[in-house]
Amino acid sequence: MTVDRQQRIFAAAIFSGVKMKTYTNILGMLAAAVLIQAAARADELGSTVITNAIATNTRYGLFNGLDHRSSYTQGSFPEPFLVDDSGFEDNEARLDWTHTKAGSQHSDEVKAEVEKGFGNLTLEIEVPYERNYDAGAVSQGIGNIDLGARYPFYEYVSGSGFFDTTFGGAMEVGIPASSAISINPEFVPKMFNDTKVGDHFTMQSIYGWSTLTGGGADGGAQTFEDGYDFGWTIQHRELPLPGVQQFIPMFELVGETPLNKDNSGQTSLTGNACFRLNLKAIGRVQPRLGLGYIFPLNNNARADVHNGIVTSLVFEY
């Protein structure tokens, strides 16, 4: 074999080795690309699975009816004035004064209330004192001492959290204080809904069936009660009032419809234009001030109330 032929064979071998190495590198790069893409896809799928798992795991309670993402227990709903409170309260005490008048009649009520939360359950006790004046005659005394409880049974929160609603049930029992204005025991089973839309709007609605037991003219009276509270929460960064954490303009509608006795079916509808100032906390205590103007919305309500005011001082601790 000549030297020239040996050189050509040697060059061909080298070239074949270079080609093989090149093909190997290309295949290796392609394999790496495929593996990276597969890993990325697996990570994406894994994230989706984890997200779905997290979303599934937000449900809890009886029949998975509740949702950990719900704002119901996070203090997002302002305390109503005339409408029965339906939001969750952990530790709260409040003192309200309501003054109404209709012609020569006028009435004052001072009410003290304490609420305590246990899990999702809220328990409350209310002790009112009333004084009524009518054509020179005065009646006054402690009203029914109300014991109440409420609990949510279904919550729905949209994926983005923009829409957040809670349905629940409540029970109120009025224990008579044997005063001139507190004679009949009262039982009021209730249903409520608390809804939050976006960062500002809240609506609380509650429906109750009141039954008075015992004797007297009011014994056996049944009344359908409904209330609606609309609020718009404005944070301090949006309206920097000194010492105010939240400013909440509110509007309330309160309806009462007797179901028997003489006024059966005659609904009384009252409105309340009001606001709350949730002040900055002092240590562990946050004061919340409220003021409202009460007015009738139909003739049945006008027979009892021409106008009135309500003030409220709440301490959350």
CA distance 17 to 218: 107
Check whether residue 122 and residue 153 sit in a common domain: yes
Check whether residue 77 and residue 52 sit in a common domain: no
The pLDDT value recorded for residue 57 is 87
Check whether residue 288 and residue 223 sit in a common domain: yes
Helices (H), the chain: 3-57, 299-302
User: Is residue 157 pLDDT above 90, yes or no?
Assistant: yes
Check whether residue 34 and residue 121 sit in a common domain: no
Work out how many domains the chain is built from and give that number. Answer: 2
Of 19, 40, 57, the residue at which a domain comes to its end is 57
Mean pLDDT within 142-159: 98
pLDDT band at 47 (very low <50, low <70, confident <90, very high): very low
The pLDDT value recorded for residue 7 is 43
Task: Report percent pLDDT > 70 for the chain.
Answer: 82
Check whether residue 17 and residue 91 sit in a common domain: no
Mean pLDDT within 44-58: 52
Other C-beta atoms within 10 Å of 233: how many?
A: 21
- What does the DSSP 8-state code read for residue 62? G
The pLDDT value recorded for residue 1 is 52
What SS3 class is residue 68? coil
Q: Domain range spanning residue 101?
A: 64-316
Please work out, in degrees rounded to the nearest 5, the angle formed at the alpha carbon of residue 199 by the alpha carbons of 195 and 208: 20
Check whether residue 49 and residue 73 sit in a common domain: no
Is-contact 314 288, C-beta < 8 A?
Answer: yes
Mean pLDDT within 35-46: 39
pLDDT one-digit tens code per residue, 236-259: 999 999 999 999 999 999 999 999
pLDDT band at 43 (very low <50, low <70, confident <90, very high): very low
User: Is residue 13 pLDDT above 80, yes or no?
Assistant: no
Is-contact 204 83, C-beta < 8 A?
Answer: yes
Average pLDDT of every residue of the chain: 87
Please work out, in degrees rounded to the nearest 5, the angle formed at the alpha carbon of residue 180 by the alpha carbons of 175 and 185: 20
Single pTM value for the model: 0.81
Check whether residue 13 and residue 84 sit in a common domain: no
pLDDT one-digit tens code per residue, 203-218: 999 999 999 999 999 9
Check whether residue 28 and residue 128 sit in a common domain: no
User: Is residue 29 pLDDT above 80, yes or no?
Assistant: no
Check whether residue 35 and residue 103 sit in a common domain: no
The pLDDT value recorded for residue 56 is 61
Check whether residue 160 and residue 226 sit in a common domain: yes
Check whether residue 41 and residue 83 sit in a common domain: no
b/e sequence 148-175, b meaning 16+ C-beta within 10 Å: bebbbebbebeeeeeebbbbbebebebe
User: Where is average pLDDT lowest: 39-48, 96-105, 275-284?
Assistant: 39-48
Question: What CATH number is attached to the domain comprising 264?
Answer: 2.40.160.40
Check whether residue 31 and residue 68 sit in a common domain: no
